[in-house]
Amino acid sequence: MPDLATPARAVPALAIEALTYTYPNAPQPALRDVSLRLSPGELVVLAGRSACGKSTLLRAACGLVPHFHGGEIDGRVEVAGIDALATGPGELAAVVGYVAQDPETQVVSTTVAAEIELPLEMRGDPPSSRARAVEEVALALAIPHLLDRAVDTLSGGELQRVALAAALVTRPRLVLLDEPTSQLDPVAGDELIWLLRRLNEEWGVTILLAEHRLERCLAAADRVVAMSSGLIAFDGDPRDFLTWAQDADTALETPAARLFSLCGLEPLPVGVRDARRTLASANPVPPEQSREEGVRPLSITTLTSSDLWVELASGEIPRDVLKSIDLEVKSGERVALMGRNGAGKSTLLRTAAGLVDPVRGRVEAPGGMALLSQNPSDYLVRERVGDELPGDAGMSALRVVGMEHAVDADPRDLSGGERQRLALAIALAGRMEGEELPGLVALDEPTRGMDRARKDDLVQLIGELADRGAGVLVATHDVEFAAAFAGRVVLLGDGVVIADGPADEILAGGWYFATEVARVLDLPRVITPEQGAAALTNNAVALLSAIRQEVRHQGLPSSKQPDDVALPPAMRKQVRPQGAGEEG
């Protein structure tokens, strides 16, 4: 137990020394000689590829490893001075809150209010104190309207916020979050990150946040810890992390950092504001692009809905989830279905698959439909990956999603991203090499738990499915992923289609449903780092002028303002000499 005579700030929020851990029957350790120390009041981002050890580290910090998962462990783990290896998760819950990658596995109550109140009830808080705490945390997370809802009526994003509320309601010293924005829409994701920053600054809560979508959280972080193969590969500030990632693993670069890398610009930006400051006076020209890119003749309808209305029960009162939806998806199309949490995306996919009955109108998938739902655990029923997908067709599916190495593993021991890929393989097994595809392939939040490299693999798979004639409809909150795969975006808002158009129009020029590069450059039809680099390269003169202005603003003597010092070689050759019609 912590020494009460020691000032609270002198006790580390988390102290890990020489921690090595191996899951039961695993061939190699998930963590290897890990040492980490978090001071009170730090906000630390935990980065790394899928299955690198991030989730295992969080489980060790809250006592689930080894008390729940078993296995072999060596080393030391202390949370707020409490020995986590000698103390069970129940006792540690007084000082640490934990939100898992799969929030549906944490929820045990029937209503939202009861779920949030449960930790307070278990520690014996009086009713009035519990009611106040539930109301405050619900307001902080913008979910007071959900308090009376049954948990089984919530969307994935709503469930994620409820799990977070239950973790925060006790006001723990340390909060551990495993991809908390993975199922949140862009607005809710940004609000959550800045809520965590506020809790961190005003309450002094220490936060350890594992996340793949680093563009959402680097600007708020004090520090970044990156893991690789169970080891800590980097520990430092966010800007240094981006420089490290540029050389060590480009899959960990943010889109804005990737944009700067492609242009050879430094320093790499930790967020949109930082990037815009560097490019403050540049006037990049949008690159020439063919509007026919990725478009093929479309003739076969793979999904059609007409005047589709769907009601779902919310307590005793049914509510309209989809309202007069008219939508078509053609063969070969790659469509991103986007919108805020609760907008009706999952309901639309489930209705198309025949899992929900409409109250009016119709929806049809004439060529058949393969559906991957939000929760990969729904697809996993065996104790061995190879038994989930037996035979040559199963192995073929595992190879396509990069999971052939895990054929002997227990699905429950896989990382969240690996389970997601395994579920995808199950949904498409036998349909990817030589066999008939369904007319429509529908994926609901398929990138949950995936690093960027695996998302790139999924982009390639989606392209292959579309090239073979399937219509591909993907419900996603991941704007960067949508920009990479989609030719078209359908945006839902409160059960209605509010926008339907080319991806490079819908994902550019906005605040939330826009990529990081689009928010940095604010150019029409520029949504990816590659398009942004082309735009900047097309106007190297203006960029050089902007960099010079920044140098002058910093007050450096004129002798330290050479014409080309800050301009990358690839762009420098495009600048005309002084006196050639352009002012130097």
Same domain, yes or no: 536 and 521: no
Residue 316 pLDDT class (50, 70, 90 cuts): low
Whether residue 470 sits in one domain with residue 436:
yes
pLDDT at 225 over 90: yes
Q: Quote the mean pLDDT of the chain.
A: 85
Interval 426-432 mean pLDDT: 70
Q: Are residues 547 and 505 in the same domain?
A: no
Range of the domain at 224: 8-249
Claim to verify: residue 230 and residue 305 sit in the same structural domain = no
Domain closes at, from 496, 526, 556: 526
Same domain, 401 and 487: yes
| DSSP codes of every residue in 418-437 | HHHHHHHHHHHTTSSSSSPP
**Residue 295 within a domain:** no
pLDDT average, residue stretch 203-219: 93
Contact in structure between 99 and 41 (CB atoms under 8 Å): no
Both 416 and 544 in one domain: the answer is: no
* Residue 96 bridge partners (DSSP): 174
The answer to whether residue 515 sits within a structural domain is: yes
Domain count, the chain: 3
Report pLDDT digits (tens) over 467-478.
988 999 999 999
Gap between the Cα atoms of 130 and 10, Å rounded: 30
Residues 52 and 186 in one domain: yes
Mean pLDDT of 307-321: 83
Cis amide prior to 267 (ω within 30 degrees): yes
Are 438 and 460 within one domain?
Answer: yes
Same domain flag for 35 and 111: yes
Residue 292 inside a domain? The answer is no
Say whether pLDDT at 430 is over 70: no
Instruction: Specify the residue for token string 């352009």.
Output: 582
Size of the chain in residues: 584
Any domain includes 294 = no
Asked whether the beta carbons of 238 and 218 are under 8 A apart, the reply is yes
DSSP type of residue 477: S
What is the average pLDDT across 193-215?
Answer: 90
Residues 6+ apart with CB under 8 A from 571: 263, 264, 536, 537, 540, 543, 544
**Alpha-carbon gap, residue 492 to 500, rounded angstroms:** 9
Mean pLDDT of 361-390: 89
In a domain, 268, yes or no: yes
Residues 409, 512: one domain?
A: yes
Q: Are 163 and 100 in contact (CB under 8 A)?
A: yes
We report the CATH number of the domain holding residue 463 as 3.40.50.300
pTM: 0.83
Q: Is residue 1 part of a domain?
A: no
Q: What are the DSSP calls for 191-232, one per residue?
A: HHHHHHHHIIIII--EEEEE-S-GGGTGGG-SEEEEEETTEE
Query: Same domain for 23 and 119?
Result: yes
- CA 91, 94, 95, 100 torsion: positive or negative? positive
Report if residue 431 sits inside a domain: yes
pLDDT class of 242 with cuts at 50, 70, 90: very high
Rounded to a whole number of angstroms, the CA Rg of the chain reads 25
Note whether 116 and 164 are within 8 A (CB): no
Residues paired with residue 320 on neighbouring β-strands, in sequence order: 311
152 CB-near residues (< 8 Å, 6+ apart): none
Instruction: Tell me how far apart the terminal alpha carbons of the chain are, to the nearest angstrom.
Output: 67
Residues 447 and 551 in one domain: no
CA 59 to mean position of chain CA atoms:
19
The count of other CB atoms within 10 Å of the CB of residue 581 is 7
For residue 254, pLDDT beyond 60: yes
Tally of CB atoms within 10 A around 539:
18
pLDDT of residue 281: 60
Q: Is residue 2 included in any domain, yes or no?
A: no
Residue 12 identity: P
